[in-house]
Structure 1
Amino acid sequence: MTVLILTGEEDVTADMVVVHLNGSGVPVVRLDPADLTGGVSLSGEYVHGRFRGHLSTGGRLVSLGGLRSVWVRRPGTPAGHAAQPSAWLTEEASQALYGMLRGCDARWMNHPDAARQARHKPWQLRLAQRCGLPVPATVITTFPRAAREFAERFPDLVVKPVSGAHPQDPPRAVPTSRVAPDTDFSAVAFGPTLLQRRIAKRADIRLTVVGERLLAARKATAPDADPKEVDVRFAAPGSPWEPAGVPPRIADAVRTYLRRAELAYGAFDFAEDSDGTWWFLECNQSGQFGFVEVETGQPIARAIAEWLSRPIPDGPSKLDEAGSTVR
């Protein structure tokens, strides 16, 4: 059975996993939904109580009934590369592709519905609290007065986007930044603003979770680091990422988080304070892992390939290649 990877053409992270899949002899098809109506074709037939579906890309034809797993890595907007793209065509292509895939028995990393929910940072923060993960004091508000009062209670703050990357082409990452003590919060009224108590960190933690497997990496904060550099993505080069153990309490909470979120993969970011507490910052359901694997040697790509390669669990019934029900 085949592994389907949905991602853009230039995705080195996906390449790392494909190498392991090819090495283990697992059939794999990779396509970008943005190429629908161009380099990618689809067909689904619902006749006599049966479904028969196929995808075609690069001269290869794959049966939807023959998929063992689908990895939703970094797919483009459906039909985004069409000769005459439009919102209507995108909706039609999205409904067709993801609607058919939802109807097969393949395992998802991650299911589109779960992934869509998991991208909401306010939802992440509440779920993390409920799972027992330490969360820094946070407010998301459009009330200037609420922002000012929060700053009075927690004078050392950072500000970060609620949604993540800025929606330009290509997307631009918006760094987390410290809030000046004399900040005028009047502009908060013009858009939701996320303010969070700054964690005086001694290290950044990236915890990559694949199924039940936890792979943590730690990057120590230099003693002479610029206090204004709070976002590790934009900080000056320092100590390398190194493998790290996961405290049992964090491991249990993270597994609970993924189970409740219905995710098979998650890239968690934590700030480790001077007491060794790991403070939850976010969980990216499609986060990069290549830089961690390169620096630490942790087998993250192999772990993903192994998860994707697992056979579909036996259940009451499943669809065979032709779409008929078999026991």
Structure 2
Amino acid sequence: MTVLILTSDQDVTADMAVVELNARGIPVLRLDPAELPGGVDLSGEYAHGDFEGHLSVGGRVVSMAGLRSIWVRRPGVPAAHADAASAWLTEEASQALYGMLRCTGARWMNHPDAARQARHKPWQLWLARECGLPVPATLITTFPRVARAFAERYPDLVVKPVSGAHPGDGTLAVPTTRVRPGEDYRAVAHGPTLLQRRVRKRADIRLTCVGEQLFAARAASGAPGADAPDTAGVGGVGGVGGVVDVRFDPDAGPWRPVDVPRRVADAVHGYLTRAGLAYGAFDFAEDADGIWWFLECNQSGQFGFVEIETGQPIGRAVAEWLAGEPLGPAGPPDADACRADPTHP
């Protein structure tokens, strides 16, 4: 049976799992919904109470009934690369592709419904607290007076986007930034603004969860003393004081493996279960007392940089989950393995 991976051609992180699957001769079909129709084609027939569907990529045709799992990694917008791209065609292509895939018995990492809900930052913060994870005091508002009152209670704040866009996503991304003293907060009226009590962190933690397996990595915070004024901000709310976002901090790291406290492990497993996720990349800020403060969970977060720096076998764990079985030692490459991923020879 075949593993279906929905992602873009340039997704190097997905390659790490594909290599593991190919080495064991497990068939893989990798496609980007942005290429439907044209580079990707599909067909589904509903007759006599049965459904029969097929996918075609690069001349290779796979039956949807033969899919063992579906990894919704980082797919493009359906029909985005079509010659006659339009919002209407995108909706038609999305309905056709994801509607047919829902008719299969394949396991999802992660199911589109669960992934859509999991992206919402306010819901993440609520669920994390429900599951027992420490969450910094947070406000999302468009009321300047409410923001000012929150700042009076928590004078040391950071501002960040509600959407949490990552700088590698190809969309606008703004770093988490400290709010400058004396901010009047009038700018929050122009759009929802997320303010959060700053955790005086000594390290950042990335906890990658694949099914029941947990892989934690720790990066010590950047060099101290970087408290020079900074005018960056979100929605017009200014910032002050160094880089507090590990994604933009050249002095952070390197990433090193770290054990997961039992309390955190239990809470994270509970989070994934309630969210209906098979995969999640959690970000925590570790304070001076060793407490891991929940910041967010990305349901399709990158793990390649962690595996490269720590040697943790995350790609293999993903491959095993997708295969639905433990992976034995890699065998010699053969023709079938080489054909398993037609878009990446």
The CA distance in 2 between the partners of 1:190 and 1:67, in whole Å, is: 46
Q: Where does the alignment leave 5 or more consecutive residues of structure 2 unmatched?
A: 228-241, 326-345
Cα deviations across residues 9-57 of structure 1 (Å, max 9, x unaligned)? 1110011110000011110000000000110000000000010000000
- The one-letter code sitting in structure 2 at the alignment partner of 1:173 is A
Compute the RMSD of aligned alpha carbons: 1.5
Using the alignment, how far apart are the partners of 2:21 and 2:127 within structure 1? 33
Q: 1:168 to 1:86 in 2, by over 3 A?
A: farther
Q: 1:137 to 1:25 in 2, by over 3 A?
A: same
Q: Aligned equivalents of 1:190 and 1:96: distance in 2?
A: 37
Deviation of 1:196 after TM superposition, in Å, equals 0.1
Return the letter of the residue paired with 2:143.
F
Structure 1 residue ranges without an equivalent (≥5)? 312-327
User: Structure 2 vs 1, CA of residues 225 and 104 (structure 1 numbering), >3 Å: closer, same or farther?
Assistant: farther
SS at match of 1:305: helix
Code of the aligned partner of 1:163: S
Contact 2:218–2:253, Cα closer than 8 Å, also in 1: no
| 2:97 aligned partner, one-letter code | L
1:277-305 deviation digits (Å, cap 9, x = unpaired): 00000000000010000000000000000
Task: Give the letter aligned to residue 310 of structure 1.
Answer: G
Partner of 2:204: 204
Amino acid paired to 1:244: V
Q: CA deviation at 1:171?
A: 1.1
User: Which of 274, 278, 283 matches 2:297?
Assistant: 283
In structure 1, the residue matched to 2:288 is 274
CA distance in 2, matches of 1:148, 1:301: 45
Residue 335 of structure 2 corresponds to none
Q: Deviations over 1:193-223 (max 9, x none)?
A: 0000000001000000000000000001245
Q: Which runs of 4+ in 1 moved over 4 A?
A: 166-169
Written as runs of structure 1 = structure 2, the 5 A alignment for 1:1-327 is 1-165=1-165, 170-222=170-222, 224=224, 226-227=226-227, 228-310=242-324
Aligned residue-pair number: 311
CA-to-aligned-CA distance 1:90-131 (integer Å, 9 cap, x gap): 000000000000110000000000000000000000000000
Query: Structure 1 CA distance, aligned partners of 2:67 and 2:104?
Result: 8
Amino acid at match of 2:49: G
* CA gap 1:225/1:251 in 2 versus in 1, 3 angstroms: farther
TM-score (norm 1): 0.93
Q: Is the 8 A contact 2:223 2:252 kept in 1?
A: no
Which residue identity does 1:113 align to in structure 2?
A: D
Determine helix, strand or coil for the equivalent of 1:159. strand
Once the two structures are overlaid, the 10-residue window that deviates more, 183-192 or 166-175, is: 166-175
What amino acid sits opposite 2:111 in the alignment? Answer: H
> Deviation of residue 165 (structure 1)?
2.2
Distance in 2, matches of 1:168 and 1:205, equals: 19
Percent of aligned positions that are identical:
73
Q: Within 2, Cα distance between the matches of 1:259 and 1:293? A: 24
CA distance in 2, matches of 1:238, 1:144: 33
2:200 and 2:166 map into 1 onto residues whose CA distance is: 27
Give the TM-score normalised by the residue count of structure 2.
0.88
Tell me, in whole angstroms, the C-alpha distance in 2 between the residues paired with 1:164 and 1:36.
28
2:285 alignment partner, SS class: strand
Q: Secondary structure at the match of 2:46?
A: strand
Task: For 1:289, give the aligned amino acid.
Answer: F
For the Cα contact (< 8 Å) 2:167–2:173, is it kept in 1?
Answer: no
CA distance in 1, matches of 2:167, 2:217: 29
